[in-house]
């Protein structure tokens, strides 16, 4: 009776120890745990979990391979549909995707698909078991992929495996997009990201770093050299609150804070040259995953007290449940139903506090979320010496430079045909956050998959 095996929990680093290092919090399944958990899968003939996965990994099949103890083949099955399994196993919101569709979840807890995916990917990485499949015959068609985040990497891998010649252009000095600058080391070790990206090079992909499309090369120029262009540039422009004192010293956007710590390795300053922002009483404004990442990074950088200030209540926190739980376990304070109205500086213009107002929740808005309303005369002060603003991002304007033809919606995101991801410029495709606004790693990969299929249909059909 399979239902009798409970869902296996992943062992985690002790919370007192982990706040003082940048090592991963969950240790991953042991072989024994993976076997037990894989044993829970019912091997449905009509599996719902696969539909819940934006890139349609053949989940029952890779779990079956785990049961057979054939981890190499398990990894192959996943890799066929997803070139970043070690990443997705760690950062996907499985509870809303594959695991939400697992039939076991109706009466019990769903199969821990994400943890099993991570187990297989880590195993393959440790044993270096996965080699690139044999190169397909070359099609003599060239594809330019702009942005090396998860969406761009998926498009590139899919088209390489069909025989296209693919060049990926990246503005930063390292590929990976949000995987390298945004998600912290303790949640996604950078060695894992670079290992998974190496697979793209094994497939024959070229990655051109330090190349800003819109500045170094224009989209128009790309179209002269490539048969199709995919724009997977993300939504990296940080929003600020536009309130008094926001430009004081030691007030950061989450993007800047995380880029310094993660990409530039400021947490290892002065061994690395980028200075580490420091504060004793750190405040993060916002309640998403990025806010949780910032808060937990600040703790590991030596802050005595870290507080998340969010204008709605616990229930509305946009961050994943697991991230909120980790943050709370680590001792991060939550000041809910609170919003800053101004920042206050000391005599040399460093932030020393912020004035806040308490909020109450009004009627649900069009999207169903209850609007926060400030409570009059509820003002109070919070002492702080480092503020991280994490209230969301928008589309960066650079990709649109000299490109009036690229149609955008009223929020500035690129308009695409959702079946093909083609933009208003023929043969220029787009997907991920630059189309939808900030979403998840896996949804960007799903968009990349759709675009790769459409590009192949168009280029091979015409």
Partner 1 sequence: MYEVLRKEEMADGSIIRLDLHCPLIAGKAQPGQFVIIRANEHGERIPLTIADCDAFSGVITIIFQIVGKSTALLRGFKAGDYIKDVVGPLGKAAEIDKVGTVVVVGGGTGIAILHHVTKAVKAAGNNIIGILGARSKEYIIMEAEMRQLCDEMIITTDDGSYGTQGFVTDALKKCLDERSDIKLVYAIGPIIMMKYVCRLTEKYHVPTKVSLNPIMIDGTGMCGGCRVGIGGETKFCCIDGPDFDGHKVDFDELEKRNSMYLKKEKDALLFSIR
Site residues for partner 1 per CB under 8 A: 171-173, 209-212, 215-217, 236-238, 240, 242, 246-247, 249-250, 252-253, 255-256, 259-260, 264-265, 269-276, 348-349, 396-398
Q: CB-wise, 224 or 242, nearer to partner 1?
A: 242
Q: CB-wise, 156 or 254, nearer to partner 1?
A: 254
Q: CB-wise, 60 or 177, nearer to partner 1?
A: 177
Q: CB-wise, 67 or 265, nearer to partner 1?
A: 265
Q: Give me 342's structure tokens.
A: 């101004």
Least distance to partner 1, CB of residue 273, Å: 4
Q: CB-wise, 186 or 400, nearer to partner 1?
A: 400
Alpha carbons 55 and 52: distance in angstroms, whole number:
9
Least distance to partner 1, CB of residue 290, Å: 13
Least distance to partner 1, CB of residue 122, Å: 26
Least distance to partner 1, CB of residue 215, Å: 6
Q: CB-wise, 89 or 238, nearer to partner 1?
A: 238
For residues 184 and 372, is the Cβ–Cβ distance under 8 A?
no
Q: CB-wise, 324 or 387, nearer to partner 1?
A: 387
Least distance to partner 1, CB of residue 226, Å: 16
Alpha carbons 202 and 284: distance in angstroms, whole number:
40
Least distance to partner 1, CB of residue 287, Å: 20
Least distance to partner 1, CB of residue 84, Å: 21
Least distance to partner 1, CB of residue 266, Å: 9
Q: CB-wise, 272 or 380, nearer to partner 1?
A: 272
Closest Cα to residue 59, out of 100, 109, 7, 4?
Answer: 100
Least distance to partner 1, CB of residue 325, Å: 29
Least distance to partner 1, CB of residue 402, Å: 11
Alpha carbons 309 and 37: distance in angstroms, whole number:
38
Secondary structure string (H, E, C) spanning the chain: CHHHCCCCCCCECCHHHHCCCCCCCECCCCHHHHHHHHCCCCCCCCCCHHHHCCCCCCHHHHHHHHHCCCHHHHHHHHHHHCCCHHHHHHHCCHHHCHHHHCCHHHHCCCCCHHHHHHHHHHHHHHHCCCCCCCCCCCCCCEEEEECCCHHHHHHHHHHHCCCCEEEEECCCCCCCCHHHHCCCCCCCCHHHHHHHHHHHHHCCCEEECCCCECCCECHHHHHHHCCEEEECCCCCEECCCCCECCCCECEEEHHHHHHHHHHCCHHHCCCCCCCCCCCCEEEEECCCHHHHHHHHHHHHCCCCEEEEECCCCHHHCCCCHHHHHHHHHCCCEEECCEEEEEEEECCCCEEEEEEEEEEEEEEECCCCCEEEEECCCCCEEEECCEEEECCCEECCHHHHCCCCCCCECCCCCECCCCCCCECCCCCEEECCHHHHCCCCHHHHHHHHHHHHHHHHHHHHHC
Question: Which residue is associated with the tokens 């224009």?
Answer: 218
Q: CB-wise, 138 or 173, nearer to partner 1?
A: 173
Cis check for the bond before 96: say yes or no (omega within 30 of 0): no
Q: CB-wise, 274 or 436, nearer to partner 1?
A: 274
Least distance to partner 1, CB of residue 58, Å: 36
Q: CB-wise, 54 or 277, nearer to partner 1?
A: 277
């Amino acid at each position: 009776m399979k239902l009798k095996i409970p869902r296996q929990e992943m062992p985690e680093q002790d919370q007192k120890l982990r706040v003082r290092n940048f090592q991963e919090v969950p240790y991953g399944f042991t072989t024994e745990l993976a076997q037990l958990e894989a044993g829970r899968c019912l091997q449905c003939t009509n599996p719902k979990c696969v539909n819940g996965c934006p890139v349609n990994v053949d989940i029952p099949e890779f779990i079956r391979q785990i049961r057979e103890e054939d981890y190499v083949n398990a990894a192959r099955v996943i890799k066929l549909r997803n070139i970043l399994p070690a990443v997705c196993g760690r950062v996907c919101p499985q509870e809303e995707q594959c695991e939400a569709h697992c039939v076991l979840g109706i009466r019990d807890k769903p199969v821990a698909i994400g943890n099993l995916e991570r187990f297989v990917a880590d195993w393959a990485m440790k044993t270096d078991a996965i080699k690139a499949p044999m190169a397909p015959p070359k099609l003599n068609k060239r594809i330019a992929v702009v942005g090396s985040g998860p969406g761009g990497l998926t498009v590139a891998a899919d088209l390489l495996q069909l025989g296209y010649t693919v060049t990926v252009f990246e503005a930063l000095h390292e590929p990976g997009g949000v995987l390298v600058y945004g998600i912290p080391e303790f949640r996604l070790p950078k060695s894992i990201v670079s290992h998974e990206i190496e697979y793209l090079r094994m497939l024959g992909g070229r990655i051109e770093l330090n190349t800003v499309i819109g500045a170094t090369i224009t989209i128009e120029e790309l179209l002269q050299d490539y048969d199709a262009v995919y724009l997977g540039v993300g939504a990296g422009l940080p929003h600020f609150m536009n309130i008094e004192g926001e430009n004081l010293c030691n007030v950061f956007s989450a993007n800047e804070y995380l880029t310094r710590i993660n990409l530039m390795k400021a947490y290892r300053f002065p061994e690395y040259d980028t200075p580490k922002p420091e504060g004793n009483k750190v405040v993060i404004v916002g309640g998403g995953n990025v806010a949780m990442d910032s808060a937990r990074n600040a703790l590991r950088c030596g802050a005595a007290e870290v507080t998340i200030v969010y204008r709605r209540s616990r229930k509305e926190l946009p961050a994943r449940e697991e991230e909120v739980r980790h943050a709370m376990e680590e001792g991060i304070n939550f000041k809910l139903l609170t919003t800053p109205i101004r920042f206050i500086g000391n005599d040399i213009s460093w932030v020393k506090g912020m004035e806040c107002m308490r909020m109450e929740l009004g009627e649900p808005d069009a999207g169903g979320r209850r609007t926060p309303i400030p409570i009059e005369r509820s003002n109070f002060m919070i002492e702080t010496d480092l503020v991280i603003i994490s209230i969301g991002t928008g589309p960066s304007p650079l990709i649109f430079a000299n490109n009036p033809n690229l149609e955008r919606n009223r929020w500035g995101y690129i308009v695409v045909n959702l079946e093909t991801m083609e933009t208003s410029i023929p043969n220029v495709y787009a997907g991920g956050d630059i189309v939808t606004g900030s979403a998840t790693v896996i949804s960007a990969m799903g968009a990349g998959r759709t675009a790769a299929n459409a590009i192949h249909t168009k280029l091979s059909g015409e």
